[in-house]
Structure 1
Amino acid sequence: MSLRWLTLPRLVALFILILTGAGFQKYLMGSINNYLMFSKPFHNLLLNKSIYGLHPDLYNDNYKYSPTFAWLMGPFYYAPIGVGVFFWNLINSVVLAFGIWYYLEGEDDAARKRWIALLIIFPEALVTAQNMQSNNLIVGAMLLGLYHLRGERVWQAAFFFVLCGFVKFYGMAAALFFVFYPKKPQFLLAMTVWTIVFALAPATLIPLDNLLSEYQEWFRVVMVSTLGRLVSVMGLLEVWFGMAKTDANLRVVEAIGMVLFLLPFLRFRLWKDGLFQRRMIAYFLVFIIIFNKMAESPTYVLAVTGVALWWLTLESPTRLDWTLLLTVIVFTSLSPTDIFPRFIRNEFFVPYRIKAVGCVLVWVKLQWELWTQPVDSQIKITSSSTSAPISRLMS
């Protein structure tokens, strides 16, 4: 009743406005290293110097993204920092909002589902925006790619998937869902062409042999990078069950997770079922975080987006479903915030990887739903919708 004033257009506007302004908290505090790490490597491209390794004169961290991403961030290198922070978060929030909007196009009662999805995702998206991370952009672009893939617009879909891949490797993994849709050869061609275009873009600034060396270094950096605290299944196994944090153990857990993720694809007769497709996409978004050795708090916007999309597949949520959703909202999205006293966050939530628990439980529930879904209930999601486009609703 109290939220009746919060219509969908107002919610979208507030969503974008708040996420765009969130980074200014850190900007005013002078804590903008993440933004500098995104925008300043372009300086090294201009000088034909390696963008990897330590560059304390520019930012305080190891750059772990692709040469193409450094090239794409060129406009932010030239912009004043305050202006750049504003537009960086604006782009991230708009892509995320548009991704949610268009992914849910063609759904029954799409307006209500968009409203619910935005509310569920907002707290976690805010954490990412405050840290000026790229994860809102990644998940929004993945959803846009899936929307275009469903509509058989393979070149647009491939563009978004490849864009994600040149920011973070796992962003391109959403392209796997091309197996559900027609035009498979055309899609593979589009992926190949866009990959070549994106990969060669930095060659406008540096020689090809140097660019090849930079890509080799990027692959090496990604392969050897491991965060000290695993906010994932690996972290839960380490803290709760005493699993040693070794490369061998991490690879075993990753392999088990990959097998569990791929097994539902064996239900070939459900590949064209709309409900199965939606569940698999939700399942995927949760999977790539909870089984990721690089998972940290700001990456959880992907997993929580998966939880939101799972919730929207439920016709009549049970008490268990409500409990799982509330667990994710409270212990995943709200646990890093000042709602909880600092000593609880530092002494309980963080060391015991509580942030991962709710998403792991939802993933288990999704496993059950994927394997128990009957084959004879075929649901098709249309690629177009009678709902008004976002630009018209926002006007």
Structure 2
Amino acid sequence: MNNLSSLGVKTPPYPETTLEALRKIAGFKPAILIFTAIMFAMIVSQVITRELPINVYNTYAAAAQKLANHMYPYPREAVEFHAGYKYSTLFGVLFYPIQALPFELGRFLWILINFSVFMLGLGTFLVHVFKNKNHTLAALLDKPYKLAILLILIFNEMSVSIKIGQANSLICGMMLLGLAFYAQGRNFSAGIILALASNFKIFPLALALLLLWDFRQAYWKSFLLGYIAALLLPALVLGWSWNMEMLMAWHKTLFLDFNTESKLSLMTFLEANFNFNGSLVYRGFVVLNILLLCVGYRFSFSASRSGGLRFLYPLTALFILLFNHRSEIELFVLVSPVYALMFLAILEKINEGRNATQEITFLAIGYFLITHLRTDLMPSVVGALLFHDKSQVLGSLILYLYFARQAWKKPVASESAQEQR
């Protein structure tokens, strides 16, 4: 039964299962299957034909083997951090069967898992966000060229993460899936998925903890129990003492590296371009943004409000990119769903006969600064001259301010209020 009903909130019928949501995504146009197959083939071909400078798959595989053999997988010194293993013990245990396969097969399976979970999460999320009978996802993407544009917008950031073997696409897909389930009232499933994502890497906690503001018991119980279980389950394979030792090592790793020279947070952008060293002022600014995000969620764009997801995911994702001192290029897969939301909002306005100039302008600016400057279509010297090769940060900041203004300008109505009208 829909958990929102117990709160007195009437909700329209949502996809009850992931499979039904997938049918909605794939059923409206055969082109979706063709285009996604092409995208996947392009990623695989890049992995096969190009010698990539980074291969995180090998890092995961080595860490999984070390964990199984009771060897220390985490970097012991800050200088080892960049190329070292930084994920949870559970992630390493779950990766062990993949790395046990022949290398090419294991790497292919890992690419397939990342791609599939990301696309499933994105599709399920968008099906829910655009559920109005006049503006369903199928209605907005009624022409193959519209679908092609959307997939082109999300492709670059997603492919950068997947082709080097990073797990960020997998985790982003889990965040989107958990958020969609939460908005549908499937609180237990949402809590478990977001607990796993937050265990694999710490940044999904920003979204998972924000959802606690709705005080849904089923969600916070499943999230808390799921997170504790994710910490303790590896003991079944590794033994209690070795698992506890690895948990302590992982915790230490999370606070090991504070070298921001090659990172893409707002702090590094200010340091590189304006010689800003006010760490105390900056920390105060981060705390202020955390408070604004929490207050904004409670009163403007919570997941229980119709239309709230249009602001909730972008603001949370962009917050993670801007204020995480370890932000890097591979983490910008988080911005791909933001592009998708903006593009679909443009189509929605056009279908309604409204002016979409503002949305088009900010999507173009964000995509140019975050994505286009790093593609082969733009001479590298141009990207290097613009903001010390940290234009992604400026693009993220512009989109963050844009969504914050939009969310506060006209707070979205709650589901219950809309039903009363």
Q: Same fold (TM over 0.5)?
A: yes
Structure 1: distance between partners of 2:123 and 2:238: 38
Deviation of the 1:284 alpha carbon: 0.9
Deviation of the 1:208 alpha carbon: 1.4
Gaps of 5+ in 1: 383-395
Deviation of the 1:334 alpha carbon: 2.3
Conserved 8 A contact 2:315-2:403: yes
Residue 53 to residue 377, structure 1, CA distance change in 2 (3 Å) = closer
Structure 1: distance between partners of 2:370 and 2:73: 34
Partner of residue 229, structure 2: 197
Structure 1: distance between partners of 2:413 and 2:183: 21
> Percent same amino acid among aligned pairs?
22
Residue 342 to residue 218, structure 1, CA distance change in 2 (3 Å) = same
Matches of residues 227-246 of structure 1 in structure 2 within 5 Å?
227-244=260-277
Conserved 8 A contact 2:370-2:391: yes
The SS at the match of 1:48 is coil
1:14 equivalent to 2:41? Answer no
CA deviation string 1:307-357 (max 9, x = no partner): 432443453464332222112222211222221223333x32472411222
Aligned AA (1:86) = F
Deviation of the 1:168 alpha carbon: 1.0
Conserved 8 A contact 1:68-1:201: yes
Structure 1: distance between partners of 2:229 and 2:299: 35
Structure 2: distance between partners of 1:86 and 1:149: 31
Deviation of the 1:380 alpha carbon: 9.3
Structure 1: distance between partners of 2:418 and 2:38: 28
1:223 equivalent to 2:265? Answer no
Aligned AA (1:301) = V
Partner of residue 56, structure 2: 34
For structure 1, which segment, 323-332 or 131-140, has the greater mean C-alpha deviation from structure 2 after superposition? 323-332
Structure 2: distance between partners of 1:150 and 1:229: 36
TM-score by length of 2: 0.78
Q: 2:323 aligns with which of 262, 267, 291?
A: 291
TM-score by length of 1: 0.83
Partner of residue 336, structure 1: 374
Partner of residue 85, structure 2: 63
Deviation of the 1:304 alpha carbon: 3.5
CA deviation string 1:109-165 (max 9, x = no partner): 212369364332112112112222111111111111111112222232122212211
Gaps of 5+ in 2: 1-28
Deviation of the 1:270 alpha carbon: 6.7
Deviation of the 1:15 alpha carbon: 2.9
Conserved 8 A contact 1:141-1:160: yes
Structure 2: distance between partners of 1:64 and 1:245: 28
Aligned AA (1:341) = P
The SS at the match of 1:224 is coil
Conserved 8 A contact 2:342-2:359: no
Residue 172 to residue 22, structure 1, CA distance change in 2 (3 Å) = farther
Structure 2: distance between partners of 1:13 and 1:67: 33
CA deviation string 1:249-293 (max 9, x = no partner): 653443233233223134269764211332122211111112211
Deviation of the 1:234 alpha carbon: 1.4
